[in-house]
Structure 1
Amino acid sequence: MQQPQPSAHTPAPPPPPRPRLGERVLTAVSRDPLTVPHRQRNDVLIAVGTGVLSLLLALFIKEGPQPDALGWALLAAGIVPLAWRRSRPIPVLLAVLACVAPYHALDNTHFAPVPGSLLALYTVASTARPLHTMLIGTGVIGLVLTVMFRVNAHEGLESLRTSGWIIAVLVVGVDVRVYRRYIASVVGRAERAERTREEEAARRVVEERLRIARDLHDLLAHSITLIGVQTSVASHVLTVDPDRLDRAAIAKALDDIADTCRTARGELRTTLDVLRADGSDTGGPLPDLAALPDLVRAAHADLDVRTGRARIAPAVGAAAYRIVQESLTNAVRHGGPGVRVRVAVEAAERHLHVTVTDDGTASGATVGSGYGIVGMRERARSVGGTLSAGPREGGGFEVAAALPLQHSEALA
């Protein structure tokens, strides 16, 4: 049945809801004032708005005479520096005070420069350290009281009464600074956590690639080596004495090759399933100690397993299987003709001991020539175990691994 095609006039999904006013205000407050976009343009607009407000206060508030020409010049000069208040907060405050102090001393309308002065104070309090804010606030209050008491006692007392507004602005500025630092620390922790998760994911990807590389190496190297040995057996039977053809030996060698191919195909399919999976599935059962007899029998080796009732973690059993598999591959490949191999697996109190020995003549000469020994050490280390490999006294080669019975005991 054909699936219906989407209509060409399907309406677009609605846009996300716009943040509410309170959320937009909190977002604006929590931003770092030195990194917000368009801060210079915004400061210019705020300075213009503050200048308009100061003009209206000077024209319509009848507290003292209106400014004369010098007063208007000082009032305007105290507003202009606010355009750079966030980039240079302390110099801007000093420039504002340098204009506002003589403005008040001339007994002009005292309310007019208040918005610009409080804005400069707030900017310093929200950007400087609290100690600096306290010192600056003390100096500003002292300067204001000194100037106003010189004008007349009434203005000085009025300024003393209203100095609480200066303190309130400083407290609000400090509180905003603390809030911004808190938000920055939360965002920083979230970013660090995200980087940690990304690094952990990358590390897991690398570990998974190494594990798959080891699986493919162990699988293909072992299977190809056995197929080569079994093919050599069939070729030997065919060429040594053609007149007395041993059909049974040839058939057995070919059957062994077919069995090895089937086993390799099954394990290769399992590995490819792991590659296609999303990480939540292992892609099939892991090889374990129960599969050792067939593995050892195919290599014509001797096997001695003594595990008793020990509980062996699946990952440990799989590691032991792969170590034996790679050891058998090396023994068959490098041990020379007629090599005899013995595999011993024994469970001790807390460890599973795996030993593979052979009496070959060439094994010791091939140490470090490929990835086999390195892969076996990585497998042992992946479950918290250790592995040693090297020539034996008197000839031959030995691989010995000690793996913890439970993967939870792994070191790392």
Structure 2
Amino acid sequence: MMPVQAPTTPQPTTPQPTWPRSAERIVATINRDPLTAPHAARNDALLAVVATALAIALALLVDDGRRPDALGWTLLLACNVPIAFRRRQPLLVLLAVVACVCPYHVLDNTHSAPTPATYIALYTVAVTGRPLRTVLVGAGVIGLSAGVMLTVSMHEALEVLRMSGWVVAVLFCGVDVRVYRKYVASIVERAERAERTREEEARRRVAEERLRIARDLHDLLAHSITLIGVQTSVAAHVLSADPERLDRETVAKALDDIAETCRSARGELRTTLEVLREHGPPDVRGPLPGLDGLTDLAEAARLAGARVEQTVRVRRAPPAVGAAAYRIVQEALTNAVRHAGPEPAVHVELDERQGALHLSVRDDGTGPASGGTPGFGLVGMRERARSVGGTLDAGPRTGGGFEVRAVLPLTTTGERAG
């Protein structure tokens, strides 16, 4: 016999509460500007229909006056029609409602029936107008209502004054909603402005980072490629000058220098590219080159044929200033090797005076050829100096040659250059 399995009872599904979405819609409706709300005409027409139905129900069910006759029904229905246009001309709508309600009350019809239309018109005036206009309108409506009711009876006039608190409450509610909407609109505007500011700041940081990396790559590749080119020329000259008496030692040294330059360039290039792959904060970068690397720059320039003299009289410098000085000297030596002619004499001097690092790189060469295409070297050096709050001048010397002069403040770090 097959075992009988007990039927499984389906688990009841818990309906998702719908009140949060309804509450969000109500809050959105309150926050929305009534003059720019979507479907305003349709919503106002529906509101006019609802107000008319409520007015008819009050006229039939409430006994605070006589049942409206044909003229009374006409006036009662007519006072609800302007509600469909309440957003376009709030004050004119209120005047139209009052123009229909006053004769309706004078005829002693059911006095509660026009109340919904009157309150809607008053609320619209308060929520769309200035507070001073709202106060004047409220005082005028209360005074006019009391005067009209005096034509009916003193009791009705006193009843209007007693019920004027509801008019004040409706006007106060409209003013409060208007102030709240303006407050929400100011918060939204500030949030949007803050978002735009954050986006602009992010774009600025990206542009600065791209410029920094472009400077690094330019300094690195221009310096390394220039040295490799000079060393290759030396090796080629040795090979072609006297093939019968080949100076193997000189060729080997030139090739070793090329290999060392390639290794150094590869290491610096790897460090630069690792910055692009970092997932941490953009300000977290690898160790910056500094003044302690100037000796290696001078030695590399000597291997390329330049006669470099170096004088450094700086005790210490902030990392950003040291990196900027390193890159400026690197680019100046590269330009000297490239443009100053064969075996130029280059003097590198760094001195600390009056809280600033004074840097000078001068040579006795011929300088760049006139009419050549300008590169990015001088532009990059000036950007390096500006990045730490300094200045840089470069140009031909009076007695011949070329000189680069920079003043880098040691008291401010500025932007991390490197």
TM norm structure 2: 0.89
Q: Secondary structure at the match of 1:299?
A: helix
* 1:186 paired residue number: 187
Deviates more, 1:347-356 or 1:253-262: 347-356
* 2:295 paired residue number: 293
Give, in whole Å, the separation in 1 of the partners of 2:213 and 2:343.
32
1:47 aligns with 2:48: yes
Residue pair 1:304, 1:345 contacting (<8 A) in 2 also: yes
Give, in whole Å, the separation in 2 of the partners of 1:120 and 1:240.
104
> Deviation per CA, 1:370-389, whole angstroms, max 9, x where unpaired?
11111111111111111111
* 2:313 paired residue number: 306
* 2:197 paired residue number: 196
The Cα of 1:59 is off from its aligned counterpart by: 0.6
Give, in whole Å, the separation in 1 of the partners of 2:295 and 2:160.
98
Q: Percent identity?
A: 64
Q: Secondary structure at the match of 1:151?
A: coil
* 1:7 paired residue number: none
**C-alpha distance 392-276 of structure 1, shift in aligned 2 (>3 A):** same
The one-letter code matched in structure 2 to 1:299 is A
Residue pair 2:44, 2:84 contacting (<8 A) in 1 also: yes
1:250 aligns with 2:251: yes
The one-letter code matched in structure 2 to 1:284 is G
TM norm structure 1: 0.90
1:379 aligns with 2:381: no
> Deviation per CA, 1:3-53, whole angstroms, max 9, x where unpaired?
xxxxxxxxxxx9998626655433321221123333332222222222111
The Cα of 1:406 is off from its aligned counterpart by: 4.4
* 2:352 paired residue number: 347
> Deviation per CA, 1:134-168, whole angstroms, max 9, x where unpaired?
22222222221221112222211111121121111
Residue pair 2:312, 2:350 contacting (<8 A) in 1 also: yes
Give, in whole Å, the separation in 1 of the partners of 2:106 and 2:386.
82
**1:225-264 equivalent positions in 2, closer than 5 A:** 225-264=226-265
Residue pair 2:58, 2:113 contacting (<8 A) in 1 also: yes
Give, in whole Å, the separation in 2 of the partners of 1:215 and 1:16.
59
Q: Which runs of 4+ in 1 moved over 6 A?
A: 14-18
Q: Secondary structure at the match of 2:279?
A: coil
The alignment covers a number of residue pairs equal to 395
* 1:4 paired residue number: none
Q: Which runs of 5+ in 1 are unaligned?
A: 1-13
Residue pair 2:311, 2:348 contacting (<8 A) in 1 also: yes
**C-alpha distance 208-18 of structure 1, shift in aligned 2 (>3 A):** farther
Residue pair 1:339, 1:358 contacting (<8 A) in 2 also: yes
* 2:325 paired residue number: 320
Give, in whole Å, the separation in 2 of the partners of 1:365 and 1:330.
14
> Deviation per CA, 1:206-263, whole angstroms, max 9, x where unpaired?
1111111111111111111111111111112222233332222211111111111111
The Cα of 1:279 is off from its aligned counterpart by: 5.4
Give, in whole Å, the separation in 1 of the partners of 2:258 and 2:18.
67
Give, in whole Å, the separation in 1 of the partners of 2:413 and 2:142.
67
**C-alpha distance 303-19 of structure 1, shift in aligned 2 (>3 A):** farther
Q: Secondary structure at the match of 2:163?
A: helix
The Cα of 1:125 is off from its aligned counterpart by: 0.4
Residue pair 1:367, 1:373 contacting (<8 A) in 2 also: no
Residue pair 1:30, 1:180 contacting (<8 A) in 2 also: yes
**1:125-204 equivalent positions in 2, closer than 5 A:** 125-204=126-205
> Deviation per CA, 1:44-77, whole angstroms, max 9, x where unpaired?
2222222111111111110010111111111111
The one-letter code matched in structure 1 to 2:218 is H
* 1:369 paired residue number: 374
Residue pair 1:364, 1:390 contacting (<8 A) in 2 also: no
Give, in whole Å, the separation in 2 of the partners of 1:202 and 1:15.
43
The one-letter code matched in structure 2 to 1:285 is P
The Cα of 1:290 is off from its aligned counterpart by: 1.4
Q: CA RMSD in A?
A: 2.2
* 2:338 paired residue number: 333
